[in-house]
């Protein structure tokens, strides 16, 4: 597989808090100017989530 996976949730801050210390982080939780709140992590196989 090639690409990125997006997981849509209304609890992005909760998901960030439970994931940030257990995963390799691509970029931390932030609010983007286009209205999206997101962060990116790598899974154990190196895929970007």
CA 49/CA 34 separation, integer angstroms: 19
**What pLDDT shows up at residue 38?**
92
**What pLDDT shows up at residue 22?**
92
**What pLDDT shows up at residue 8?**
87
Per-residue pLDDT tens over the stretch 5-43: 788 889 999 999 998 899 999 999 999 898 889 999 998
Domain boundaries, the chain: 1-49
* Contact assessment for residue 49 and residue 40, using Cβ atoms and an 8 Å cutoff: yes
Residue 21: partners with Cβ closer than 8 Å, 6 or more residues away:
none
CB atoms within 10 A of CB 15: 15
Give yes or no for residue 1 having a pLDDT over 70. Answer: no
**What pLDDT shows up at residue 31?**
92
| Whether domain 1-49 has CATH 1.10.3720.10 | no
């Amino acid at each position: 597989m090639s690409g990125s996976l997006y997981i849509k949730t209304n609890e992005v801050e909760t998901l960030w808090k439970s994931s940030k210390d257990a995963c390799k982080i691509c970029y931390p939780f932030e609010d983007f100017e286009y209205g999206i709140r997101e962060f990116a992590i790598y899974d154990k196989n190196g895929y970007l989530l």
